[in-house]
């Protein structure tokens, strides 16, 4: 997705980033839900990046499920296993 690549080069995107490398499903669920809470709590936060890593794909499915359950708008960049999320 071309517009995602442009945004990924903008350093402002990486101020609100969650890296799930090495987390198991339970830990990742907690980390993502906590990040969602903070993301929703601050008006100045309008973008969020979640990096899942390659792994087995379980974290990607988990994050996608949580994003859909919480009605977030997002893009997924397959090349770097990363979700780019916007406010609801």
- CA atoms within 13 A of residue 15's CA, in its CB half-sphere: 8
Query: What's this model's pTM, rounded to 2 decimal places?
Result: 0.80
User: Mind listing the pLDDT tens digit for each residue in 21-61?
Assistant: 999 999 999 999 999 999 998 888 889 999 998 889 999 99
Q: Give the list of residues 6+ apart from residue 13 with CB closer than 8 angstroms, or none.
A: 7, 47, 49, 84
C-alpha 54 chain-centroid distance: 14
């Amino acid at each position: 997705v071309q517009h995602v690549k442009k945004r990924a080069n903008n350093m402002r995107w990486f101020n609100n980033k969650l890296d799930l490398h090495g987390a198991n499903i339970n830990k990742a669920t907690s980390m993502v839900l906590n990040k969602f809470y903070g993301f929703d709590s601050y008006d100045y936060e309008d973008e969020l990046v979640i990096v899942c890593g390659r792994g087995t794909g379980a974290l990607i499915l988990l994050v996608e499920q949580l994003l859909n359950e919480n009605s977030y708008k997002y893009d997924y960049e397959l090349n770097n296993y990363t979700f780019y999320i916007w406010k609801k």
